[in-house]
Structure 1
């Protein structure tokens, strides 16, 4: 059991990220003092939205510069913090030239740097780590190896590698490394959040998040001839942020937490918007798997990825996060509608709503 002093600052790494920005906002709205790290403090445009959020909140914000690949980089930002929420990690699933350099090493080294700093910072009592559902399962076809096709916190990804599914591999290796480091000391405890496919409105106009990029493509007509079949474990970004905060502040929080709410596919997402705004060129049917496999390299994914992931359905068990963190989830329709509205209002997709 770990009790956090709510008067002490809370560190959120990678504060300009899609998820991290929501964690910072929710903490500020609750009146906390938040320390957050960014790669380049001189580029204020990247974190201006956080400064704007601070002005309208009850909390206070301090910005620090840190780099995942630099030793002791997070030390200054962590001083005096009892709770550290580590979200910073590269997220790319296409256009990868050197997976080890672009994904695996930054994820591993970043995790080590943050947790070694926690070891060196006497005030730290708890670290909440953002892992991923892909640290539990690599390819959708892996469900056949699981108990009745259901996966949960006991599941680990055993099929990803640097050459196949390097992003899931990076998240798996980083989480395993975190547990190893945590087990070698007894001053702070580790709690892990494993989100599914995160959707929902962004607090900034950035479009370099893979989740946001996919939604822009979906609503802009890239998949209008058909979408790949297969379910995703979808969760609202605001729920994932809330889960991180609960994991940090609930004294009894423990272990891994599968943070997913809805088992839906791309057509389900499209249907939510088409019912409200029929002018949008969203897909109305599934693209045949053989065809998607044929054109996969032109879409930025491998044919093996399509073979192992398209057309597979699975079931996840999110009962533990509901029990341990008392979590409830935003409706699927609200997540998609709010995300769509944000993209239109920020000018990231055309406004065809009239």
Structure 2
């Protein structure tokens, strides 16, 4: 397929660490990218970089969205063939943030269902959505049947894990109900250039040793390129 024939793709939230690198990868492959950035208090370095790229790169269109506002997502999705959903909180997670991320995931999936041009959803989740439970040490494999235990997460206040578990489950439920073509990526610890300045608080807290691993060690994972999933 020639570069000019490549379809438009939406990345939401493009201002997350993972989202920003997906955006760059898509642009380098010739895609037109709708960079959907969540409205926040203050502008991060990633947001400044994306807006700067938007002024220079004609194949990059920047949208401000509120994931709790279904209609703002619809606007960003217009004309796109795929959605890369990379929801994350730059300020970390608490119990309130869990509910917000669930609602955001539902709105994203529903907006995709209402957009005729959308052919695929790539949902960025986390390994934490699959590993946290009382019996984790007795399990040998983690696969698509594995889910973190909600009560275990609440008991230990693992709000990031709970948010990723419930938001992914909600997205899958709606995707199956609306017959959406969706895949999920459950990455482990994500590292790369600028990670200490740009990565979410949830990752940096683990790197600094602020979280207890609850008797489990996770080997470093190699995450496949998200952009190849479109092929």
CA distance in 2 between partners of 1:157 and 1:204 (Å): 27
Aligned to 2:146: 155
Distance (whole Å) between structure 2 residues aligned to residue 68 and residue 151 of structure 1: 30
Q: Which residue of 2 aligns with 1:198?
A: 190
TM-score, with length taken from structure 1: 0.55
The answer to whether residue 214 in structure 2 is matched with residue 232 in structure 1 is no
1:137-156 to 2 correspondences below 5 Å:
137-139=131-133, 142-146=135-139, 149-156=140-147
**73-82 or 195-204, which deviates more:** 195-204
Please say if residues 89 and 200 of structure 2, whose CA atoms lie closer than 8 Å, have aligned partners that are also in contact.
no
Unaligned stretches of 5+ residues in structure 2: none
Q: Which residue, 211, 223, 226 being the options, matches 2:203?
A: 211
Q: 1:103-137, CA deviations, whole angstroms, 9 ceiling, x for partnerless residues?
A: x1111101011111111111111111011111111
Where do 5+ consecutive residues of structure 1 fail to align? 251-354
Q: 1:157 offset after TM fit, Å? A: 1.7
* Aligned residues: CA RMSD: 3.2
TM-score of the superposed pair, with normalisation by structure 2: 0.81
State how far apart, in whole Å, the 2-side matches of 1:17 and 1:35 are: 14
Q: Does 1:120 align with 2:114?
A: yes
| CA displacement 1:213-269 (0-9 Å, x = unmatched) | 544x47xxx9xxxx9985224236xx45x1x2222x13xxxxxxxxxxxxxxxxxxx
Residue in 2 that maps onto 1:260: none
Tell me, in whole angstroms, the C-alpha distance in 1 between the residues paired with 2:105 and 2:191.
24
Higher relative contact order (CA 8 A, sep 6+): 2
Contact persistence 1:132–1:193 (CA under 8 A): yes
Is residue 170 of structure 2 the alignment partner of residue 177 of structure 1? yes
Q: Deviations over 1:191-221 (max 9, x none)?
A: 1111011122237943644324544x47xxx
1:51 Cα deviation after fit: 4.3
C-alpha distance in 2 between matches for 1:204 and 1:67: 26
State the secondary structure of the residue aligned to 1:82: strand
1:135 pairs with 2:117 = no
Max Rg structure = 1
CA contact (8 A) 1:197 1:233 kept: no
| Count of residues in correspondence between the two structures | 223
How far is 1:23 from its partner? 0.3
2:69 match: 70
**Residue 207 to residue 11, structure 1, CA distance change in 2 (3 Å):** closer
CA distance in 2, matches of 1:203, 1:9: 28
Residue matched to 1:306 = none
Q: Distance in 2 between matches of 1:62 and 1:195?
A: 27
